[in-house]
Structure 1
Amino acid sequence: MDFKDQIQQLSERISKQKDMITTEEATKNAFIMPMITVLGYDVFDPFEVVPEMDCDLTKRGDRIDYAIMKNEQPILIIECKHCKQNLDVHNTQLAKYFAASNARFGVLTNGIEYRFYTDLEKQNIMDEKPFLVIDATDLSDNDIEQLKKFHKSYYNETEILSTANELKYTTEIKGILSNEFASPSPEFVKFITKQIYDGAIWQSVIEQFTPLVKKSISSIINDIISERLNNAIKNEEQQITPSSMEIVASDDTNSDDTLPDGVVFIDKEKGIITTQEEIDAYNIIRSIVRKQISADLIVYKDFKSYFAIGVSNPSCWWGCRLSFGNRSKCLYIPTDDYKSQERIEINTLDDIFKYADKLEECFAEAYKYYKKYQNKHLK
């Protein structure tokens, strides 16, 4: 299992268990120690992980919860809190430990939110703001890539520091822009209005332009999404497998080769192998969702790392994805408006029927986006 699979599996476990955790110690055992393990460190090896490391500058017996070690020196210290605690009031405690430890990176966490700090502004003095904030229950691909940099096998202090400064400020900029886009401030509206309005900009003018600015921002975002979606469709439409092709191998495609048992198609150039098991799963899912969506719209497309099933174009409007390995079978369904996905392990293809309701909901959502695109672009 690769790092991404491990971290996503932990993310799902945290989401399921967080309401059952009642103490800080339980938070450490259930969430934080497994996270350290996923990062490649042995929590029971004192040469790699030191619990309760002395960080005493004031003779008060101060200790950090965990210190990740390399060459007998701390490279990452971790201060832990209960999973229901707000971290905003605890960063000063970590700052004190940071100065005493000489580590370059510090983490303040409640097992769900992880705030990563370093000393960009003044050496050995922890920055006031984190350069990276990650929600373990809502991981983006970028979050996973940033976490991977702290993995034992990939850790490179210089590389992390080189991106920390950029991450710190881009995170703040994104936060400011997100707030402005959601609710434009008078200053922001005034800045925009000055570019197009020749008269004096009184409060009444700002009030007049505020809804126009907000509407324009929404329109731009929608246009960008539609353009990318349209380009994706153009690039993919020649590759989409028709739903009627339940077995996609042909005599011409593999004329010189005999397909292995259970394999119905091989694209050697792209490294794609389509199995009969995937086709069978597709037919099961199509039988479930065809009650609400025309069967000819439910199509599949095989990729190197997963098998996508969706409405008209599985690259854009996917309802689920399959990942069938020798040891495990996984069904992935989109969540949080396609910002993340839920991983469901199944033992047999019959288990798919257990998730019929979820599949119907996901495909209904995919169909909604498909119709929205059609109404806007194909009239």
Structure 2
Amino acid sequence: MNTVIIPKQAVGQLKKALDNFKLSEAIQMCSNEAQTRKFLIEPFFNMLNYQSIDLIPEFNADFGDRVSQKVDYAIKINKKEFILVEAKKYGSRLTDKEAGQLNGYFGNTKNSKIAILTNGAEYRFFSDVLEPNLIDSKPFFTFNIESYTENDLEALIKFDKRFINVQTIIKAAQHIVFIESFENAFFKELVAPSKDLLKIIHKNMTFVTKFNEETQGKMINLINSPFLKSMYDKKVLLESTSNSQGVITTELEIQAYHTIRTLLIQNKKIPKERIAFRDFKGFFNISVDDNNKKVICKLMFNNSALRIAIDNNEYILEHIDDLLKYKNELTNRTIQLLEA
């Protein structure tokens, strides 16, 4: 699979195009679906470098012997691959009914792995991660032209005609669905532990008891928020000390630490001696007072990506210099932790 390198300036160019787009004026001209297509949807894809020749309106979805049905658009990526687009009037609610309509087209267009449902403002991107030729119940990515973040732009640029790689996008979508599925299943076990889980834990306990209803009740009562937080702290500590190969702190991580530290101490409220780092297997923490309960940010650098997590937000970095974009967020987080 060929990896497409997206230039750093491409995101900036996309943002500029969106900023310059006269959205309010376009919305005022959208009183029906046809106008929504003309004034909102087509310009949106133009900003992603798809030209009129790439947007095939009223695309015939192959239903075999059944009556032919047409999807609003097919976006031609190359000679073999298409993105299907189902359009609704601006202001329309995008519901499961509309997604179901799109699903009918998707299942019968074999050379399409991505489908979009849109009302001109919100764009929901679907694929068939869970079951082939059947779009998933939830989109793997949603972009709203009226309200978006820098993170959204970094995801949207991957659909630009110049950079789009369907296999890479689907692989990322599969990863998103896998994580969500794992988190949901794990959370379900934490909220209402199954008998199977309790059996596994009981089997590994050194204190021998009968696996009866009383024992199960005690175990369930132990699985609460303070207990889980304590277990998390123990796991973090274990990961920091039990690497058989040793934790290898890279030059890039040290460079990132010094960059962030320099950004932070520009604020007089932040003492430089209180900013510390600790390297773990798979991630690198920058914290206040070297306290794992006061993490300013987490760096996750590997051969395929550079990522930074600040509080509950995660960002992809193209270069170390991208850290400068998050100065305010890093500073606010640090001051919050210092004052806690």
Matches within 5 A, 1:41-190: 41-42=50-51, 45=52, 47-55=53-61, 57=63, 62-71=69-78, 75-81=82-88, 85-110=93-118, 111-112=121-122, 114-118=124-128, 121-122=131-132, 125-128=133-136, 133-136=140-143, 147-160=156-169, 165-180=174-189, 183-187=191-195, 190=198
- Asked if the contact 1:243/1:298 (under 8 Å) is kept, the reply is no
Gaps of 5+ in 1: 245-281, 300-309, 319-334, 342-358, 373-379
Describe the shift of the 1:243–1:179 C-alpha distance in structure 2 as closer, same or farther (beyond 3 A).
closer
Indicate which of 199, 223, 236 corresponds to 1:213. 223
The code of the aligned residue for 2:161 comes to K
Q: Classify the secondary structure of the residue corresponding to 1:101.
A: coil
Equivalent position amino acid for 1:217 in 2: L
CA distance in 2, matches of 1:312, 1:172: 35
**2:335 partner letter:** Y
Percent of aligned positions with the same letter in both sequences?
Answer: 16
Q: Secondary structure at the match of 1:153?
A: coil
One-letter code aligned to 2:230: S
- Give the letter for the 1:40 counterpart: N
1:185 positional shift:
3.9
Relative to structure 1, the CA distance from residue 11 to residue 62 in structure 2 (aligned partners, 3 Å threshold; closer, same or farther) is: same
1:367 pairs with 2:330? no
CA distance in 1, matches of 2:263, 2:174: 48
- CA distance change for structure 1 residues 206 and 362 in 2, over 3 Å: closer, same or farther? same
Q: Distance in 1 between matches of 2:116 and 2:67?
A: 21
Q: CA deviation at 1:98?
A: 1.6
Question: Unaligned stretches of 5+ in structure 2?
Answer: 1-7, 241-246, 276-286, 298-308, 316-327
**Residues 307-326 of structure 1, C-alpha deviations (whole Å, 9 max, x = no match):** xxx9999xx748xxxxxxxx
Pick closer, same or farther for the CA change 1:224–1:73 going to 2, 3 Å.
same
Tell me, in whole angstroms, the C-alpha distance in 2 between the residues paired with 1:144 and 1:192: 44
In 2: Cα distance, 1:139 partner to 1:221 partner: 30
Equivalent in 36, 39, 51 of residue 48 of structure 2? 39
TM-score by length of 2: 0.54
The answer on whether the counterparts of 1:69 and 1:76 sit within 8 Å (CA) in structure 2 is: yes
> Aligned pair count?
270
CA separation of 1:224 and 1:34: change in aligned 2, threshold 3 A? farther
Superposed CA RMSD: 5.3
Q: Secondary structure at the match of 1:90?
A: helix
With over 3 angstroms needed to count, the CA separation of the structure-2 counterparts of 1:296 and 1:3, relative to structure 1, is same
Aligned partners of 1:94 and 1:106 also within 8 Å: no
